[in-house]
Amino acid sequence: MVLTAEITVSTDTFALGSLFDAFPNAVVEFEPVIPLQSNGETNSPLVWVNGVEPERVLPVLRETDDVEAVQRLATVDEDVLLKLEWGDDLDGIVQPLLDTGGRILTARGTANHWKFTLLFDSHVSLSEFNMIVTNNGIPVTLRKLSSSTVQRESGDGEPERSIPPNHRETLLLAYQNGYYDTPRECQLADLASKEEVSDSALSKRLRRATASLIERTLLDEEGLGNPPHE
């Protein structure tokens, strides 16, 4: 049994929060990756930054206490993909997550707040995390809590292939707000406003999510065997 918790915290209680002081319109999203270790060191996280020129982002992040090093990997339209290396002094909710074994499934930050989907192995680890952040004076708002048994295999014995959590969240947002209805009850600009991103950024996110859904469902059903694009 595992628990997933959707929470929001203020921008200054998570690494990179100071980025929004310099760039209030920036949007930061962590890229889901499979955690691996080499020589005892966890691989560095990958983040997408939207709404800021890449040349302006790098100098600011390099001066951030939470970040030891930053490297630009790619630029796609208005988004830049960065590789980060955490510093030794991890404050806010980062260290409590490490101490309790919590995992970040999705993370999205704006000048208003950080929004996370966290995974915990048990109620005990979730309670420990909550106790630590509370004692540290960090205000955490719980949006949703759910528990489920992780399903590792499908009925035919093959590994279950589901779309990444951030893609699922984007598609559900559009569906639940009537974006796919005829006529549409919600326009792209309305969804972008809810997510506090530009129309173009949300449009790209929807295209990626739709492509991921097709590749991991319809293409598999046809037996084409095409690997999904992350």
Domain stop point among 145, 176, 209: 145
Taking 80 as the threshold, does the pLDDT of residue 35 lie above it?
no
- Mean pLDDT, rounded, for 47-70: 82
More confident residue, 113 or 54: 113
Neighbours of 155 (CB within 10 A): 7
Average pLDDT over residues 83-96: 76
186 domain residue, yes or no: yes
Contact (Cβ atoms closer than 8 angstroms) between residue 182 and residue 40:
no
In this predicted structure, the answer to whether residue 150 has a pLDDT above a threshold of 50 is: no
Q: Are 13 and 88 in a shared domain?
A: yes
Q: What is the pLDDT of residue 148?
A: 57
Residue 220 clears pLDDT 60, i.e. is over it: no
Q: Which residue has the tokens 């302006």?
A: 56
| Cα four-point dihedral sign 58, 19, 51, 192 | positive
Confidence bin at 230 (pLDDT 50/70/90): very low
Q: Give the range among 109-113, 174-178, 194-198 with minimum mean pLDDT.
A: 194-198
Same domain, 53 and 123: yes
Whether 99 and 188 share a structural domain: no
- Cα–Cα dist 41/121, whole Å: 22
Q: Which domain range does residue 123 map to?
A: 2-35+43-145
For 190-210, write each residue's pLDDT tens digit: 988 888 888 888 888 888 888
Q: Residue 156 above 80 pLDDT?
A: no
The sign of the CA dihedral 67, 98, 33, 214 is: negative
pLDDT of 111 above 80: yes
Centroid of chain to Cα 172: 15
- pLDDT in the model for residue 151: 44
Q: Which of 103-117, 171-185, 198-212 is least confident?
A: 198-212
DSSP bridge pairs for 27 = 50
Considering the domain architecture, whether residues 78 and 180 belong to the same structural domain is answered as no
Mean pLDDT of the chain: 78
- With bands split at pLDDT 50, 70 and 90, how would you rate the model's confidence at 126? confident
CA 10, 15, 18, 19 dihedral sign is negative
**Domain match, 28 and 59 both:** yes
Q: What is the DSSP string of 119-139?
A: EESSHHHHHHHHHHHHHTT--
Q: What is the mean pLDDT of the segment spanning 168-179?
A: 87
